[in-house]
């Protein structure tokens, strides 16, 4: 039965020889574009997380905005009355450019403007709008070949199946191996190939003018994509460099995070997702307080667990204790531990500590490791990034600390980095309260780190009897171990906080739990609530 849709599309196929093979090509095309569409969402969500932070919020907003924009695109498709397949080809050419250059535009924008988010969200809505045009256009074109019942089901099926493959590709190939430099261009060439295949299928039915027009557009898009692919790496490096004050000497987008190493004169800075982790200028001011109070307070430490710390500096300090027999280091990202073992800067900094026969490295989620291991430890040292997202927040919860408590021997010592007690006071107090809620007897530590500002740690002791942990720390001497800065006088200073300048009592914060993830919200707000 003739319809507006079928008559409008049939002009593209006047020949009666059109058959199921053309329908099959259309659906294969939609399978490919479904793959590209879902990966585009993931690329933009990863970019937003890297540049703007708070992964849960960014992924939620990017996916939601893209779905909303797809709805707008679907609505917009209803205004197209004829030459639908040609319009679909133009959509694919446009998507090729937007997807391919999404990361390059975000990196360039970050170097010259504070409004990188507007660029990313603008790309999100533009790409979503175009993706929303695809499915309705293909359904209407395919109406020529199949009944409505079969048409809609088969078209949607191919799009969703493509999305599954896209997710697998992004998780296991795109992000870990191609990174944000080349993954967008894979999407671009998927859309470009779809457009070219359909253009060739349609070629004999086009007028001379449309052949020339679409052929010229295709040639221009192909040339632009090839140029972008060739110059992608230097452009990304240029944009990355604009984000850092010093020269970028190493950068890698792993499956989990962006790792950057910068250099100024003879010193180096390590960044993860744009946040400084250490500097060769003063890393001992961080790692000595992280390691030595816990190691010295523990009686005869033999088995030590380090969660995080893939740079190897904490392990370097632990190896100074002759009593230590085994050091278990658990870091989620193999790219980070590989850097600690292979990069000349970190190798020199950590004294090749990760190669020591006492050290065992596990690239595993810290929470999962504690759930599954049957080992017991004398000291647990947590050297993880700040809890600025829900996924990191999980590693600062009461449940996580209870797992650590369970795997400590009696009189075992636990310590975690806890951010800044002065710039994120509520977050610091929350960690203190949460560690205590897990059963530890706690003490707070802090130190001024030149390149990072005031930093803090929470130390806990597992003991069946009441102990004054702060008093014990103040009495520690470090004559038995080689330190560059730490001594008894430093411990007196590190355990003293003075008056509470913000007037923030401990009961003003909640215990951080998996079902009540308050810590990352405290951290993101910092002390702005009280200024």
Q: Where residue 307 sits, what CATH number does that domain have?
A: 3.40.50.150
Q: Give the residue, 275 or 30, on which the prediction is more confident.
A: 275
pLDDT over threshold 60, residue 81: yes
Q: What are 181-217's pLDDT values in tens digits?
A: 899 999 899 999 989 988 888 788 788 888 899 999 9
Angle between helices 425-437 and 398-406 (to 10 degrees): 40
- Sign, CA dihedral 116-121-122-126, equals positive
Distance (Å, whole) CA 147 – CA 149 = 6
Mean pLDDT of 260-266: 95
Tell me, letter by letter, the H, E, C secondary structure of 263-294.
Answer: EECCEEEEEECCEEEEECCCCHHHHHHHHHHH
Last residue of a domain, one of 191, 216, 242: 242
Name the catalytic one among 383, 386, 432, 507. 383
Question: In this structure, are 272 and 345 located in the same domain?
Answer: no
Mean pLDDT of 371-399: 94
Lowest mean pLDDT among 99-103, 153-157, 311-315: 153-157
Look at the chain and report how many structural domains it folds into. Answer: 3
8-state DSSP, 510: P
* Helix runs in 78-115, H state only: 84-100, 102-112
Q: Give the residue, 49 or 332, on which the prediction is more confident.
A: 332
Tokens, residue 396? 């600062």
* pLDDT band at residue 3 under the 50/70/90 scheme: very low
Mean pLDDT of 89-111: 89
Whether the Cβ atoms of residue 81 and residue 4 lie closer than 8 Å to each other: yes
Last residue of a domain, one of 193, 225, 242: 242
Q: What are 304-323's pLDDT values in tens digits?
A: 999 999 999 999 999 999 99
83 is catalytic: no
Lowest mean pLDDT among 28-37, 124-133, 498-507: 498-507
Burial class (CB in 10 A: 0-12, 13-18, 19+), 24: middle
Question: In this structure, are 316 and 190 located in the same domain?
Answer: no
- 101 contact partners, CB below 8 Å, separation of at least 6: 184, 188, 228
Tokens, residue 74? 């679907």
Mean pLDDT of 380-394: 91
End-to-end CA distance of the chain: 71
Question: In this structure, are 270 and 328 located in the same domain?
Answer: no
Angle between helices 102-112 and 84-100 (to 10 degrees): 40
Question: In this structure, are 142 and 18 located in the same domain?
Answer: yes
Closest CA to 109 of 225, 232, 243: 243
Question: In this structure, are 451 and 342 located in the same domain?
Answer: yes
Distance (Å, whole) CA 134 – CA 127 = 11
pLDDT value of position 524: 82
Last residue of a domain, one of 183, 218, 242: 242
* pLDDT band at residue 18 under the 50/70/90 scheme: very low
The mean pLDDT value of the chain amounts to 88
Question: In this structure, are 127 and 225 located in the same domain?
Answer: yes
Query: CATH number of the domain that 142 lies in?
Result: 1.20.1250.20
Question: In this structure, are 477 and 491 located in the same domain?
Answer: yes
Question: In this structure, are 290 and 194 located in the same domain?
Answer: no
Question: In this structure, are 33 and 81 located in the same domain?
Answer: yes
Angle between helices 20-52 and 148-169 (to 10 degrees): 40
Mean pLDDT of 513-526: 88
pLDDT value of position 147: 63
Question: In this structure, are 236 and 287 located in the same domain?
Answer: no
Question: In this structure, are 229 and 342 located in the same domain?
Answer: no
- Assign 406 to helix, strand or coil: helix
Report the share of the chain in percent with pLDDT over 70. 92
> Whole domain around residue 37: which residue ranges?
4-242
Q: What are 472-503's pLDDT values in tens digits?
A: 999 999 989 999 999 999 999 999 988 765 55
Closest CA to 31 of 168, 195, 162, 201: 162
Distance (Å, whole) CA 454 – CA 289 = 13
pLDDT value of position 110: 78
pLDDT value of position 413: 98
pLDDT over threshold 90, residue 344: yes
Question: In this structure, are 192 and 217 located in the same domain?
Answer: yes
């Amino acid at each position: 039965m003739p319809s507006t849709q079928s008559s409008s599309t049939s002009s593209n196929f006047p020949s009666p020889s059109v058959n199921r093979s053309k329908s099959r090509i259309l659906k294969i095309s939609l399978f490919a574009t479904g793959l590209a569409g879902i990966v585009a969402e993931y690329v933009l969500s990863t970019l937003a997380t890297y540049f703007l932070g708070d992964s849960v919020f960014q992924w939620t907003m990017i996916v939601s905005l893209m779905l909303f924009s797809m709805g707008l695109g679907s609505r917009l498709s209803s205004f197209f009355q004829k030459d639908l397949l040609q319009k679909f080809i133009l959509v694919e050419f446009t998507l090729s450019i937007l997807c391919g250059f999404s990361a390059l535009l975000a990196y360039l924008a970050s170097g010259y403007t504070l409004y990188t988010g507007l660029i990313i969200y603008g790309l999100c809505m533009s790409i979503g709008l175009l993706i929303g045009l695809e499915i309705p256009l293909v359904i209407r074109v395919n109406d020529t070949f199949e009944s409505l019942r079969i048409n809609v089901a088969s078209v949607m099926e191919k799009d969703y199946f493509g999305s599954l493959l896209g997710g697998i590709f992004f998780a296991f190939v795109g992000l870990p191996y191609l990174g944000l430099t080349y993954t967008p261009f894979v999407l671009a060439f998927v859309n470009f190939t779809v457009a070219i295949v359909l253009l060739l299928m349609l070629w004999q039915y086009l007028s001379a003018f449309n052949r020339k027009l679409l052929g010229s557009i295709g040639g221009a898009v192909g040339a632009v994509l090839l140029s972008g692919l060739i110059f992608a790496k230097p452009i990304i490096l240029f944009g990355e460099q604009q984000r850092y004050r010093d020269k970028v000497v190493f950068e890698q987008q792993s499956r989990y995070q962006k790792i950057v190493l910068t250099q100024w004169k003879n010193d180096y800075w390590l960044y993860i997702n744009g946040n400084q982790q250490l500097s060769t200028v003063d890393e001992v001011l961080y790692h000595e307080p992280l390691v030595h109070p816990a190691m010295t307070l523990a009686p005869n430490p033999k088995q030590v667990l380090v969660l995080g710390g893939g740079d190897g500096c904490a392990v370097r300090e632990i190896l100074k204790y002759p009593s230590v027999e085994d050091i278990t280091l658990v870091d989620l990202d193999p790219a980070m531990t590989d850097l600690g073992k292979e990069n000349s800067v970190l190798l020199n900094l950590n004294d090749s500590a990760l190669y020591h026969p006492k050290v065992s490295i596990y690239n595993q989620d810290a929470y999962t490791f504690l759930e599954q291991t049957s080992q017991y430890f004398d000291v647990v040292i947590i050297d993880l990034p700040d809890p600025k997202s829900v996924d990191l927040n999980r590693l600062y919860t009461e449940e996580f600390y209870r797992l650590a408590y369970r795997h400590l021997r009696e009189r075992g010592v636990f310590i975690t980095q806890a951010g800044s007690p002065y710039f994120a006071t509520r977050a610091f107090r929350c960690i203190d309260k949460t560690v205590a809620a897990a059963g530890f007897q706690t003490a707070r530590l802090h130190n001024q780190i030149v390149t990072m500002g005031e930093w803090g740690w929470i130390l806990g002791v597992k003991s069946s009897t009441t102990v004054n942990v702060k008093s014990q720390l103040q009495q520690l001497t470090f004559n038995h171990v080689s330190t560059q800065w730490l001594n008894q006088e430093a411990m007196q200073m590190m355990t003293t906080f003075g008056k509470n300048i913000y007037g923030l009592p401990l009961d003003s914060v909640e215990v951080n739990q998996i079902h009540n993830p308050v810590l990352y919200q405290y951290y993101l707000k910092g002390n702005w609530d009280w200024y």
